[in-house]
Structure 1
Amino acid sequence: MQLSIKRFQGDSGERFSILVDETGMPLYYPALYITASLRGASLSVNTINNALSAIKMVCAWEEYYSLDMESRFKRSELLAPHEIHSLRDFMQKPLAETRPKQGKVVSIKGRPKRVGKENQYNRMSVAADYLGFIAGRLHPVTATSAKEIAAMATQIKASRPKMGSKVEDDRSTVHTEDALLDLVEQIIRPGNDENPVRGYGLQLRNALMFTLLRMTGVRRGELLNFKIEDFDFAVGTVKVVRRPDSPGDRRTYQPVAKTRERTIPLISDLMDRIWEYIENHRNKVPGARKHGYLFVTHRACKTQGWPLSCSGFGKFIGTLSALSEETAGLHTHALRHHWNYIFSKRCEEQGRTPEFEEQMRSYLMGWSATSGTAATYNKRHVKEAAGKAVIGLQNKHLGKKSDDCE
């Protein structure tokens, strides 16, 4: 059975996601679970999509092993320990490799492909909740049925991979040199002959997106969610605004601000360039005046003038990655990490206390001051400072011993 996740937008602007079969018919119990457990908890559409992807894996597991959990639960049969182990192992697979091979001989050479531990952990968490949910509705009610179902869900969660918190997370120390970002900025400068795109307006749009990402540390969704009204050209600020399920946004995959609203100051030169883009280029794109979103699709197509989509932005980032060997693998979040690294160095130069630095960082990034997220993005600078300190200690100690030996 070929399953897919269908996304659509309601008349109110609210985004919905459902799991459908090859005929486009929604699957009943996944739809019931999403409605009762996730939408009822006011979770975001992206969180719901991730849950549906995990449920899709559960359905693939059932098909792979010829299981019918709905019938099993109706017969008072819960998952046996060996079935939970098979579910655990199956959740390590990439989705493309989960379909039965239909008698084909499969080579066992090489290491089997696996998803990351975090992905498997999240899949297992959703699987436990989902299977517990449908078992609670299908299993005949007995004096002990509720406890047995809860125990099954607990056993599934206990099979999740261990996520060691003490292991150093290399993602938090992403290293991007200023020289590399300067090179990218130079190549995509509007009017540069080496610019990979044509059209001055499109070049200016791309350059502004890169500069705003680099200079403010905003997320991709926040950047694509900017409206002209968010920019105060009199005082030189931009406001990050949350607009979930905006009816004026025609994008099915709506970019949204994940963090808190805040106001970020911008220098006059950058504000002037934004104003130039709006007045001389954006507003001349057909359809762009029908909404207030800043960055729009310039290419002549059916979505010309619409707010730039996530896939369109992905193509822009792909263009940057293809500029040279040095830029290969460049992604949006690396710019966010780099902004935090530069911010830490600036605060150190100004003699800011660690407590005040964390408060400023939390505000500018849109985090709660008590979330602890600021420390994650400061790891690269802390690691660098710690390295300098220990090298200084070694030089002081060993250097003195060397002098004594002479």
Structure 2
Amino acid sequence: MDAIEVIRAKRDRGELTTEQIDWVIGAYTRGDVADEQMSALAMAILLNGMNRREIADWTQAMIRSGERMDWSRLDRPTADKHSTGGVGDKITLPLAPLVAACGAYVPQLSGRGLGHTGGTLDKMEAIPGWRASLSNDEMLGVLRAAGAVVCAAGSGLAPADKKLYALRDVTGTVESIPLIASSIMSKKIAEGTGSLVLDVKVGSGAFMKNVPDARELAETMVALGTDAGVRTVALLTAMDRPLGRAVGNALEVEESVEVLAGGGPADVVELTVRLAREMLAAAGVSASKDPETALKDGSAMDAWRRMIAAQGGDPDALLPRAAETMTVEAPASGVLTRLDAYAVGLAAWRLGAGRARKEDPVSAGAGVVLHAKPGDLVRAGQPLLTLHTDETWRFDRAVEALEDACAVGEASGEQLPLVIDRITAA
């Protein structure tokens, strides 16, 4: 078997065999298939697609390229959650300790941000002393101590995906739904969790811009998880406006702690509670208390503090603050009808909260704070956004990103419901 044969088969709209997929993934991981050959195959997949059997085989081949984690030594079920990414999406931070407080273990392997979407690890690293890199034994120790762990995936987990993801990022093939689905699910299945809830974002600030594409991605991932023996459900959720009022690493940690303290923005609380209930149901846990109660009675906060401390962090430490701030004012009086998520995310990125390349540093204190959300009444000249950065030269480009971000009218504009749909196995 050779790479050219496999490339031609998909180029000509053929169906790749299980043997072809196993061979090409293994050979690429070993370095026997060149980057340019895998680039050609990825482009052929983007243009011609894959059927369910091909996607399942591709996913399993990537799982087999590395280790598979095992949580069978734990005395409670495990539940995991994955978001496809958005602007202000800090849900993992309050969600993991909340689900732990209600009776399930949460082994949450997370990633870093790239471009306008934030990364969970970047947010958590704003906490002084907190460590993202843990060995498998350390992860197990944190789970037993706190009920939840949020950390980076080890190098042995789906190495084929890590290599292919980097290639897709520079060859214009990221948008392929089969490749997105197999990338996400190979890592999640290899993590060894017993159940998985997917938060598939929809809108300008998300990877999927419209509901039909998001539904296709969700259905594909739910099928992959189900076929692999992982109880999997997906929610389609709105990302046409930012989630919550804080966008940026330390700013989002601060907002997450507010949620854990029983406060916080209504949309963040609603989605956190909804996802927690889905995770507990998928794990088959009869919760001793409802997630909403666990936020109010302090038990979720207790789990958060244990989790942060177990990973070397100081839950009482002051969070980093940006050196400079700038206010963006409402352009007119009326109802804020639109606040574009992508534009706000791009502004936060330009302020230093995000990175253009995976090796770039991020500013812990940089970001955007929203003083109004779509549907709110605003007055001309009132503060609409506060920009945070350590370097004043960044303000001009951030403001430029926000030029067409908002609209003010006489009545509320149309926006997606926070939870659009729920997808389960067919």
TM class by shorter chain equals under 0.3
TM-score, normalising length: structure 1: 0.27
Question: Which has a greater percent of strand?
Answer: 2
Larger gyration radius, structure 1 or structure 2: 1
